[in-house]
Structure 1
Amino acid sequence: MDKKLVFFLFFVMFIGLILPVNAQCAMCRAVLESDPDGTAAKSINNGIMYLMVFPYLLVGGVGIAVYRTLKNRKKEA
Protein backbone atom coordinates (compact mmCIF):
# COMPACT_ATOMS: atom_id res chain seq x y z
CA MET A 1 0.00 0.00 0.00
CA ASP A 2 1.03 3.55 -0.61
CA LYS A 3 1.99 5.73 2.35
CA LYS A 4 -0.52 8.35 1.23
CA LEU A 5 -3.32 5.79 1.32
CA VAL A 6 -2.37 4.64 4.82
CA PHE A 7 -2.22 8.25 6.02
CA PHE A 8 -5.62 8.94 4.45
CA LEU A 9 -7.20 5.90 6.13
CA PHE A 10 -5.85 6.89 9.56
CA PHE A 11 -6.98 10.48 8.99
CA VAL A 12 -10.52 9.36 8.14
CA MET A 13 -10.57 7.03 11.15
CA PHE A 14 -9.52 9.76 13.59
CA ILE A 15 -11.96 12.30 12.15
CA GLY A 16 -14.71 9.71 12.62
CA LEU A 17 -13.75 9.31 16.27
CA ILE A 18 -13.75 13.05 16.94
CA LEU A 19 -17.14 13.92 15.48
CA PRO A 20 -19.99 14.07 18.05
CA VAL A 21 -22.67 11.46 17.53
CA ASN A 22 -25.84 10.30 19.22
CA ALA A 23 -25.61 6.55 19.62
CA GLN A 24 -28.92 5.41 21.07
CA CYS A 25 -31.44 2.85 19.96
CA ALA A 26 -35.05 3.94 19.51
CA MET A 27 -36.23 2.40 22.78
CA CYS A 28 -33.44 3.93 24.86
CA ARG A 29 -34.00 7.28 23.22
CA ALA A 30 -37.74 7.25 24.01
CA VAL A 31 -37.12 6.41 27.66
CA LEU A 32 -34.26 8.89 28.10
CA GLU A 33 -36.07 11.82 26.47
CA SER A 34 -38.46 11.82 29.40
CA ASP A 35 -35.53 12.59 31.74
CA PRO A 36 -35.81 16.31 32.56
CA ASP A 37 -32.12 17.12 33.12
CA GLY A 38 -30.64 14.81 30.44
CA THR A 39 -27.77 13.46 32.52
CA ALA A 40 -28.87 9.86 32.08
CA ALA A 41 -28.94 10.28 28.29
CA LYS A 42 -25.39 11.65 28.28
CA SER A 43 -24.22 8.74 30.42
CA ILE A 44 -25.87 6.19 28.14
CA ASN A 45 -24.32 7.85 25.07
CA ASN A 46 -20.87 7.79 26.65
CA GLY A 47 -21.23 4.12 27.55
CA ILE A 48 -22.34 3.18 24.06
CA MET A 49 -19.46 5.10 22.50
CA TYR A 50 -17.00 3.45 24.89
CA LEU A 51 -18.23 -0.02 23.93
CA MET A 52 -18.21 0.85 20.23
CA VAL A 53 -14.48 1.71 20.16
CA PHE A 54 -13.15 -1.78 20.90
CA PRO A 55 -14.39 -3.56 17.76
CA TYR A 56 -12.79 -0.82 15.64
CA LEU A 57 -9.52 -1.18 17.53
CA LEU A 58 -9.55 -4.95 17.01
CA VAL A 59 -10.28 -4.67 13.29
CA GLY A 60 -7.62 -1.98 12.94
CA GLY A 61 -5.07 -4.15 14.76
CA VAL A 62 -5.79 -7.12 12.53
CA GLY A 63 -5.57 -4.88 9.46
CA ILE A 64 -2.18 -3.54 10.53
CA ALA A 65 -0.92 -7.07 11.23
CA VAL A 66 -2.03 -8.25 7.78
CA TYR A 67 -0.48 -5.19 6.15
CA ARG A 68 2.87 -5.76 7.86
CA THR A 69 2.84 -9.46 7.00
CA LEU A 70 2.18 -8.75 3.33
CA LYS A 71 4.80 -6.01 3.29
CA ASN A 72 7.43 -8.37 4.79
CA ARG A 73 6.59 -11.11 2.25
CA LYS A 74 7.13 -8.68 -0.62
CA LYS A 75 10.56 -7.74 0.77
CA GLU A 76 11.60 -11.39 1.08
CA ALA A 77 10.50 -12.33 -2.45
Structure 2
Amino acid sequence: MKKTIFAGTLALLLGVLLSVLPLSVQAQCTMCKTQVEASRQEKDGYDTTGLNKGILYLMTIPYVLMGTVGYFWYRNSKKKKVANSR
Protein backbone atom coordinates (compact mmCIF):
# COMPACT_ATOMS: atom_id res chain seq x y z
CA MET A 1 0.00 0.00 0.00
CA LYS A 2 2.77 2.41 0.94
CA LYS A 3 4.65 1.60 -2.26
CA THR A 4 1.67 2.52 -4.44
CA ILE A 5 1.16 5.79 -2.56
CA PHE A 6 4.86 6.57 -2.92
CA ALA A 7 4.80 5.71 -6.63
CA GLY A 8 1.71 7.86 -7.20
CA THR A 9 3.23 10.79 -5.32
CA LEU A 10 6.47 10.42 -7.25
CA ALA A 11 4.61 10.30 -10.58
CA LEU A 12 2.59 13.39 -9.65
CA LEU A 13 5.73 15.27 -8.61
CA LEU A 14 7.49 14.25 -11.80
CA GLY A 15 4.50 15.37 -13.87
CA VAL A 16 4.42 18.77 -12.17
CA LEU A 17 8.16 19.24 -12.68
CA LEU A 18 7.97 18.26 -16.33
CA SER A 19 5.06 20.62 -16.94
CA VAL A 20 7.09 23.54 -15.59
CA LEU A 21 10.26 22.81 -17.58
CA PRO A 22 8.99 23.44 -21.14
CA LEU A 23 8.63 27.16 -20.44
CA SER A 24 12.38 27.66 -20.20
CA VAL A 25 12.99 25.27 -23.08
CA GLN A 26 10.73 27.27 -25.39
CA ALA A 27 12.72 30.40 -24.60
CA GLN A 28 15.93 28.70 -25.67
CA CYS A 29 14.37 27.50 -28.92
CA THR A 30 13.41 31.09 -29.71
CA MET A 31 17.02 32.15 -29.25
CA CYS A 32 18.25 29.41 -31.59
CA LYS A 33 15.63 30.32 -34.18
CA THR A 34 16.62 33.98 -34.03
CA GLN A 35 20.29 33.11 -34.46
CA VAL A 36 19.62 30.91 -37.48
CA GLU A 37 17.39 33.52 -39.12
CA ALA A 38 20.02 36.21 -38.56
CA SER A 39 22.74 34.03 -40.07
CA ARG A 40 20.60 33.38 -43.16
CA GLN A 41 20.22 37.09 -43.81
CA GLU A 42 23.96 37.75 -43.67
CA LYS A 43 26.07 36.99 -46.71
CA ASP A 44 28.85 35.42 -44.67
CA GLY A 45 26.57 33.60 -42.22
CA TYR A 46 27.98 30.54 -40.52
CA ASP A 47 27.03 26.99 -41.40
CA THR A 48 24.09 25.85 -39.26
CA THR A 49 24.72 22.10 -39.50
CA GLY A 50 26.50 22.18 -36.14
CA LEU A 51 23.44 23.72 -34.53
CA ASN A 52 21.21 21.08 -36.12
CA LYS A 53 23.46 18.26 -34.91
CA GLY A 54 23.43 19.73 -31.40
CA ILE A 55 19.64 19.83 -31.41
CA LEU A 56 19.45 16.21 -32.58
CA TYR A 57 21.94 15.18 -29.88
CA LEU A 58 19.92 16.90 -27.16
CA MET A 59 16.72 15.39 -28.55
CA THR A 60 18.01 11.79 -28.41
CA ILE A 61 19.16 11.81 -24.79
CA PRO A 62 15.65 11.67 -23.22
CA TYR A 63 14.69 8.80 -25.54
CA VAL A 64 17.82 6.84 -24.63
CA LEU A 65 17.23 7.41 -20.91
CA MET A 66 13.57 6.42 -21.09
CA GLY A 67 14.43 3.38 -23.20
CA THR A 68 16.99 2.28 -20.61
CA VAL A 69 14.53 2.71 -17.76
CA GLY A 70 11.87 0.85 -19.74
CA TYR A 71 14.25 -2.01 -20.48
CA PHE A 72 15.21 -2.49 -16.84
CA TRP A 73 11.57 -2.17 -15.77
CA TYR A 74 10.54 -4.83 -18.30
CA ARG A 75 13.39 -7.11 -17.26
CA ASN A 76 12.49 -6.83 -13.55
CA SER A 77 8.79 -7.44 -14.18
CA LYS A 78 9.65 -10.51 -16.24
CA LYS A 79 11.87 -11.85 -13.43
CA LYS A 80 9.06 -11.30 -10.92
CA LYS A 81 6.59 -13.19 -13.12
CA VAL A 82 8.99 -16.13 -13.41
CA ALA A 83 9.62 -16.11 -9.65
CA ASN A 84 5.88 -15.98 -8.88
CA SER A 85 5.08 -18.83 -11.26
CA ARG A 86 7.46 -21.21 -9.46
| TM-score (normalizing by structure 2) | 0.51
For residue 42 of structure 1, report the CA deviation from its aligned partner.
Answer: 2.4
Larger Rg: 1 or 2? 2
Which structure has the higher relative contact order (CA within 8 Å, separation 6+)? Answer: 1
Query: How many pairs were matched up?
Result: 53
Alignment of structure 1 residues 1-77 onto 2, 5 Å: 25-36=29-40, 39=47, 41-77=48-84
For 1:25 and 1:57, the matched residues in 2 are separated by 21
Q: What is the root-mean-square deviation in Å for CA atoms of aligned residues?
A: 1.9
| Runs of 5+ consecutive residues of structure 2 not aligned to the other structure | 1-27
User: What is the rounded CA distance, in whole Å, between the counterparts of 2:49 and 2:67 in structure 1?
Assistant: 27
Q: How does the TM-score come out when normalised to structure 1?
A: 0.56
Cα distance in 1 between the residues matched to 2:34 and 2:61: 26
Amino acid at match of 2:52: N
Q: Which has the higher helix share?
A: 2
Kindly state the Cα deviation for residue 71 of structure 1 after the two structures are TM-superposed.
Answer: 0.8
Report sequence identity in percent: 40
Alignment partners' CA distance in 1, 2:56 and 2:73: 26
- C-alpha displacement of 1:31: 1.9
